[in-house]
Amino acid sequence: MSVPSTVPPRPLLGQFPTALRFCVRDQTRNRLAGLLLVLFVPVWYLLMDAMAGHTPLNFKLYSTGDVLRVDGGQLTLVSAGLNSVTMIAGFVVFDAVRKALAFDRRLVFAGYRQSTLVGAKSLAVALVATAIALYTALAMLLFWRPGLAGWFAVLAGFTVIALAYGALGLFLGVLVKHDLEGFFLIIMGGLMDTFLQNPLGNPLANKPVLQWFPSFGPMQFAVGGAFGESALWGHLALGLGWAAAFGVVGLAIFRIRTRNRTHAGSPTAAVLPPR
């Protein structure tokens, strides 16, 4: 009996839940990332709060041109939260995508549509990034309690930057060849990005050049909502633009690296590896 040259695609409704379950499990079973989230975030807040003090600082809102006089310690908590989110979200997604890439190829060979895997990965990144941002925003309440509207502004900023660095982790996960390269780019990129937005540690924090950094929009939105009672939706959209850009490029590379290159007439195996 001849072996069929192609494997018929499985029903779409049955593919997506399975693919989503694989993606979410890959991104949530990283114990080191979980430990960093649970323990590192409060400790990082504690250290930053102790070092920053309560020096008054000027922070410029670029959309309105207003200069806010803010508490340096509270502002540092916002930037420390952004920094935590960038590293953890980027690390979680990068590690999961790199480890699952070979399995994703097997899924495609077994009849899974690439579009289904792309959708599942996108939703998984969004779910995990939102969970990381929510925990980080809740942990901040141990050290500073802004008004409800201000806290939601901080949460929105954290969520958007988590999406951006989660998408960056996906992009690097399908691009770079070694773990060290990806970890270095995520950690150093996140540190530089968020550190430069805080005028306490960077005298140039109110300069226009910072508008080209991924955390600029989320930081502006969070600070505007928490200190200035301003909803800077355009800046939040700017952060989403970074997330979309990283995500589109990363998913395009993912499609290239997982496409079925089997020629017609060649046998293919539909057996999935154990998970």
Q: What is the DSSP letter of 7?
A: P
Q: What is the pTM of this model?
A: 0.86
Q: What does the alpha-carbon distance between residue 168 and residue 93 come to, in Å, rounded to a whole number?
A: 8
Q: What does the alpha-carbon distance between residue 45 and residue 60 come to, in Å, rounded to a whole number?
A: 23
Alpha helices in 110-260 (DSSP H): 114-140, 148-175, 179-195, 216-227, 233-258
> How confident is the model over 173-187, as pLDDT tens digits?
999 888 888 889 998
Nearest 10 degrees: Cα torsion 81, 84, 85, 86? 120
> How confident is the model over 100-118, as pLDDT tens digits?
888 888 888 888 888 888 8
pLDDT tens digits in sequence order for the chain, 275 residues long: 444 444 444 555 568 888 888 888 888 887 877 888 888 999 999 999 888 888 888 888 887 788 888 888 899 999 999 999 999 999 999 999 998 888 888 888 888 888 888 898 999 999 999 999 999 999 999 999 999 999 999 999 999 999 999 999 999 999 988 888 888 999 888 888 888 887 776 666 667 778 889 999 999 999 999 998 888 899 999 999 999 999 999 999 999 988 876 543 344 444 454 55
Expressed in angstroms, the distance from the first to the final Cα of the chain is 30
Q: What is the DSSP letter of 67?
A: E
Q: Which phi and psi angles does 144 have, rounded to 5°?
A: -160, 135
